[in-house]
Copies of this chain bind each other. A is one copy, B any other.
Amino acid sequence: MSENKKLVIGLFGFGVVGEGLYKVLQQTTSLNGTIKKVCIKHPEKKRNAPDTLFTTEKEALLNDKDINVIVEVIDDAGAAFDIVQTALRNGKAVVSASKKMIAEHLPEILSLQKETGLPFLYESAACASIPVIRNLEEYYDNDLLHSIRAIVNGSTNFILTKILEDKLDFADALKLAQELGFAESDPKLDVEGYDAANKWTFLLTHAYGIVAPTSSILFNGIQNIQLNDARIARGRECEIKLVAQAKKLDDGGVAAFVLPQFVPQHDALAFVRQEYNGVVIESGFADKQFFYGKGAGSFPTASAVLSDISALRYDYKYEYKKLYYHEPSKLSSDFYLKVYISAADWSQLPKEELEWIDEWHSGQQRSYLGGVIHYSRLKDSDWWKQPGVSLILAPEAIIEPGELEQLRPVRTKASLEDILA
């Protein structure tokens, strides 16, 4: 029934994902596609594939007239962008799994797609096996997106599950994640939130037409989450999750950030445990939807790459409708966040930064307070990222400017500060 276009693939990278893809393709006879050549960096490494498949010359792929699809699953963001750029200019469709590269080069990548009219697909870069980009493109392209909340990093979610459920402290949980292969030996990209924030930049493009660098998104990781925070979460019947979220505000702007959050146990994101990912989308027409699946790993990522390859048979392209056909939304800084902040020392808690304080507690080990803070006070400072300080959002954390006064407690900030002094 389909034209079933013959796909001749040039693959860059033969690590966990690249080798996974090679194996998956071998078992996928229905796809009219073959890998002609694989470009690698270290030819001396033993590979589970014939030697003749490999080359170290990228031109052998990029200048091969037979190859009509370049698949790029390498680690080096700079080199990856060079490959993508040349491949598109040479008339080849491109599939990529490099979230860091896409986040760093999104404006150029958008121009290149316009200029060449060629497909550039990267579903696996978002949530591996969860088809979130495709669904934002196909199912929400015409819909009014109220909000999107997601767990997009499997290794931090694995660590949080171990802290919350098995009462491991952060260091032990991280060590376990590394032993099981869920975290890199240099885990900073995952653990400090860079990876989640990178993914969030291009998901914001598909969801709201926002094109903004990672640096414009407020984010943190889970490196400062304490066992004591986990106990408090439990007392509130909540999990702690690293949540990437975006919400359309009343004034048309979008609040977007990646921060740890208390997630009530009945919330769909609380269902997301271990190395899984999950996405909750709320919209005007489709109402609430939840997608859940493996967010990392060789085969789940390879299967998403394969789905992108498969879509090239009918020349599928992202349309970026929210960017090109609608008025694109803008990131907003004008809203408030309901936060919980804990620290080893009471003096580390910046009481004067908050609009008001709802609760506070000072103990032997840790002190904490809960209250409301303006987003820009967090954006313009970094006290809340310092070692020993943990900032966790309350559930339903976003407060619109227009809602602030009706939520303000009757007790005044001043009198509370007197008590705290």
- What residues of chain A have their CB less than 8 Å away from a CB belonging to chain B? 1-2, 24, 27-28, 30-31, 113-114, 117, 129-131, 134-135, 138-139, 141-144, 268, 271, 283-294, 297, 299-300, 302-304, 306-307, 310-311, 314-317, 319-321, 324-326
Report yes or no: A117 in contact with B1, Cβ–Cβ below 8 A.
yes
Residue of B nearest to A1 (CB): B319
| Bound CA–CA A138/B30 (angstroms) | 13
Shortest distance between the CB of A276 and any CB in chain B (Å): 8
Report yes or no: B138 in contact with A307, Cβ–Cβ below 8 A.
yes
Of B130, B134, B286, B293, which contacts A294 at CB under 8 A? B286
The 3 A-B pairs of least Cβ separation, nearest first, read A285-B303, A289-B293, A290-B292
Contact flag A142-B286 (CB < 8 Å), given A2-B319, A319-B2 = no
13 residue pairs of the A-B complex, CB under 8 angstroms, read A1-B114, A129-B139, A129-B285, A129-B289, A131-B139, A134-B138, A138-B307, A139-B307, A285-B302, A286-B303, A290-B291, A290-B292, A314-B315
Contact flag A299-B319 (CB < 8 Å), given A1-B324, A134-B138 = no
Instruction: Label chain A's interface by main secondary structure.
Output: mixed
Tell me which residues across on chain B come within 8 A of A321, comparing CB atoms.
30
Tell me which residues across on chain B come within 8 A of A291, comparing CB atoms.
289-292
Report yes or no: A287 in contact with B310, Cβ–Cβ below 8 A.
no
Report yes or no: A289 in contact with B138, Cβ–Cβ below 8 A.
no
Tell me which residues across on chain B come within 8 A of A31, comparing CB atoms.
142
Report yes or no: B131 in contact with A138, Cβ–Cβ below 8 A.
yes
Report yes or no: A288 in contact with B294, Cβ–Cβ below 8 A.
yes
How many subunits of this chain does the assembly comprise?
2
Contact flag A142-B28 (CB < 8 Å), given A1-B113, A285-B300, A289-B293 = yes
Report yes or no: A142 in contact with B287, Cβ–Cβ below 8 A.
no
Additional A-B contact list (7), CB under 8 Å, known A27-B284, A139-B303, A271-B271: A27-B144, A28-B142, A30-B142, A129-B289, A142-B310, A268-B271, A287-B297
Report yes or no: B317 in contact with A2, Cβ–Cβ below 8 A.
yes
Tell me which residues across on chain B come within 8 A of A304, comparing CB atoms.
139, 286
Report yes or no: B1 in contact with A141, Cβ–Cβ below 8 A.
no
Report yes or no: A30 in contact with B129, Cβ–Cβ below 8 A.
no
Shortest distance between the CB of A274 and any CB in chain B (Å): 11
Tell me which residues across on chain B come within 8 A of A27, comparing CB atoms.
144, 284
Shortest distance between the CB of A81 and any CB in chain B (Å): 21
Tell me which residues across on chain B come within 8 A of A284, comparing CB atoms.
27, 299
| Bound CA–CA A1/B117 (angstroms) | 7
Of B30, B129, B141, B290, which contacts A287 at CB under 8 A? B129
Residue of B nearest to A283 (CB): B303
Tell me which residues across on chain B come within 8 A of A113, comparing CB atoms.
1
Tell me which residues across on chain B come within 8 A of A283, comparing CB atoms.
303
Of B289, B299, B307, B326, which contacts A130 at CB under 8 A? B289
Contact flag A293-B293 (CB < 8 Å), given A1-B324, A30-B141 = no
Of B306, B319, B325, which contacts A285 at CB under 8 A? B306
Tell me which residues across on chain B come within 8 A of A307, comparing CB atoms.
138-139, 142
Of B138, B268, B300, which contacts A286 at CB under 8 A? B300
Tell me which residues across on chain B come within 8 A of A134, comparing CB atoms.
138
Report yes or no: A288 in contact with B293, Cβ–Cβ below 8 A.
yes
Residue of B nearest to A139 (CB): B307
| Bound CA–CA A114/B2 (angstroms) | 11
| Bound CA–CA A306/B271 (angstroms) | 30
| Bound CA–CA A27/B285 (angstroms) | 10
Tell me which residues across on chain B come within 8 A of A300, comparing CB atoms.
285-287
Report yes or no: B287 in contact with A325, Cβ–Cβ below 8 A.
no
| Bound CA–CA A324/B299 (angstroms) | 25
| Bound CA–CA A327/B169 (angstroms) | 51
Contact flag A131-B141 (CB < 8 Å), given A285-B303, A286-B293, A293-B290 = no
Residue of B nearest to A20 (CB): B285
Residue of B nearest to A21 (CB): B285
Of B28, B139, B299, B325, which contacts A30 at CB under 8 A? B325
